[in-house]
A and B are shown apart, each in its own frame.
Chain A
């Protein structure tokens, strides 16, 4: 170990002590210094090892370009596992690394304690590397283009998983239980040729035997939560055919006609990874704010030389630099935490980091003073201009909350899988005031149709009118939705 590494190692131990002394509690951390190529790859893929896809290459190219042009710099990357892995950019100055190390400990503390991370597998690095290998094998077996076409389609809907399934809200987990059961029903019923896709709609009582059928489907592809659903599926009896299913990917695995096992496996791989990343998406502001809040406090405890202190201040101010039209999550997050720290005890802060997500964090703690202090405002497009519309603090807060609902993605649910008796999949966009991007909608619908095999329709609202978009045979058509509002909504 060279002297630089030795010094860094010593600093990491020392900072760990300081951090623990302040009450942070984190998993063991493996720091590794990596060159820019590697760090930016991890940034683009979200993980040190992940399956191959051109979209990651595109992200990598963009990020690396920004770095090469000196426009932005990623100092570190932390992986939510136990032990945690943290990658430091080669060429970071010593004092920069000190700040980054403190930042990392706070992130890992957050991963360890925030409730929404409690079900993320702690061996995700190994799992993802196994996923990558499986997908690579499929590429060899079925051809790269074929696998890629498939991945393109699944990645397009990767956000549509039921990320609350494990939280235990009775209503939602019920639905999942039912999906599980309906699939067994289909498996059993569809053996008779006469049944044309109608088998899912009925009520199925006896489920005990279904489990074995299910298990053969899953093989190695099982998601970590599958056992949970099976438990639930045992003890409720009625199936309401008009339920809305939130987990589009799971629904495809269970019901898409004609999906081969390897194709189901790909869906389940992407679903598992999507579920893993979900808590990070919905705690971005909180988590970055938390880490920034603590690295500043930790740095104050360390003995820094004058020039180090200046360098630290410079880097810290760059991290929290407000951006013009968007919102810098580091800045917004740390401001809220600091604001809270003025009024509350440290132990209350620790409690908040356990129980909140960005959504509740903003709703509960973005106060009037903060909105005014930060000069936050709402804006939208009026004609050809982008115009400020509101600056009242409650409206600003509510708008931010609205954007955080469902991880910022439109909520799409499955209504039925035998639409108009032709075996089509019917989806519904739960319209909450914002229309969908129609070009994207049409393209994505075609991709879902590719996965489903038969036609796929989506109900949505455009300019206060209800429309049904339907994709069949590569053509997307649009028609006015049914006259009665209740029809699909129940």
Chain B
């Protein structure tokens, strides 16, 4: 009877099935994130925290759907550590997933699994930037600003004391003592001159690439919190995207109503002024700024203008002329109208006459259209 019980042990180190399906699951999570991109990239917790926080999103689409009872309408049976009487409160409605203000209705079920994917700013950025492209890269501009840059890429036994590689030196010392096999009484590490290792460098020519974003915004009375937030979100991702491609990305903030002036970032996103709108003023200001500070031969220039399109009619033809000039000197020009109505403005239809593909016209009516706007401008 003894041979019907067998105890054995095998090598399972190649058994990866769980991990394979786990990564498939992860892939599916990423697909869902991609689908929700429009909502995610405008999330306040990312934009306002400057991209440091992780965002948790409750995700219904990765649940395994089935016919099941409504947990909230069901009678459950539980066990207490003491006698419970009718009317005793066990807990409040759990607040998983709330506070994100997304209103997906998820998370009011205690004990039920809501798959919460933690999405970091990096995850979002990776997925988003994968879809964006930088058009009209002008290679001629690159070599113009070149200077030598040291690059530490080798380790040698001789060198400057200031460049001593501490980690490698210590490792050498440990190695030497291990080889020597002498069991030394006091175990302090001793560093001999042979142990020393130094970082050395080569100089490489470095082609620095510069980009400048000219953020322009209509600050007339009709631009409210919503419009500011939309433009803020757009610029948030735009700067980060351009930083991947260029070593230096500068940003200048130009606010205008009937007159244009340069303002600080804070003023740009928070202050509003009253008055009419004359868009040509800011185009003129941008052109002057380019001429003065950013010679197009050296800089990649990205002017982006957000407005509600409510331009003074008589200004449209002048705006058109100036915009044409602006398009000529820039890599891409974005013109975004943030609207609550279904009509587009006269300025929009005027600008449509410019056939140059470097001019990208977008209309944003809803938060989640920022994503599409980004894709339109950088495609």
Residues of A participating in the B interface, judged by any CB pair closer than 8 Å: 5, 8-9, 12-13, 16, 28-35, 37-38, 40-41, 44-45, 52-58, 60-61, 64, 83, 155-160, 322-328, 331-332, 372, 374-381, 384-391, 396, 399-400, 402-403, 409-410, 412, 429, 434-441, 443-444, 447
Contact = CB atoms under 8 A, between A and B. Distances in A.
With most chain A CB atoms within 10 A of its CB, the pick from B18, B26, B68 is B18
B69 A54 contact: no
A391 B68 contact: no
Contacts of B93: 381, 384-386
B90 to A, nearest CB: 4
Nearest to A44: B18
A399 B79 CA distance: 13
13 contacts: A35-B12, A35-B13, A37-B15, A379-B76, A385-B92, A387-B88, A388-B87, A388-B88, A403-B76, A409-B68, A429-B67, A435-B73, A447-B65
Contacts of B84: 375, 377, 388, 391
Contacts of A322: 79, 81
B64 A155 contact: yes
A412 B12 CA distance: 41
Contact of B74 (A60, A327, A331, A380): A380
Contacts of B79: 322-325, 327-328, 331-332, 374-377
Given A45-B17, A60-B22, A386-B89, A434 B69 contact: yes
B67 A409 contact: yes
Interface of B: 1-2, 4-10, 12-13, 15, 17-28, 60, 62-93, 105, 110-111, 115
Given A13-B5, A37-B18, A391-B85, A399 B23 contact: no
Contacts of B24: 52, 54, 57
A118 B93 CA distance: 43
A387 B15 contact: no
A13 B3 CA distance: 9
A377 B78 contact: yes
A52 B21 contact: yes
Nearest to B94: A386
Contacts of B89: 385-388
A29 B27 CA distance: 39
Contacts of B17: 41, 45, 52
Given A324-B79, A378-B77, A403-B77, A436 B65 contact: no
Contacts of B86: 388-391
Given A322-B79, A385-B89, A386-B89, A28 B73 contact: no
Contacts of B22: 57-58, 60-61
Q: Which A-B residue pairs are the 5 nearest by beta carbons?
A: A57-B21, A28-B4, A41-B18, A60-B18, A57-B22
Contacts, number: 228
Given A385-B91, A412-B67, A434-B73, A28 B21 contact: no
Contact of A386 (B5, B9, B91): B91
Contacts of B19: 37, 57, 60
Contact of B7 (A5, A35, A403, A438): A5
B18 A56 contact: yes
A286 to B, nearest CB: 17
Nearest to B80: A375
Contacts of A439: 60, 105
A157 B67 contact: yes
A379 B90 contact: yes
A386 B21 contact: no
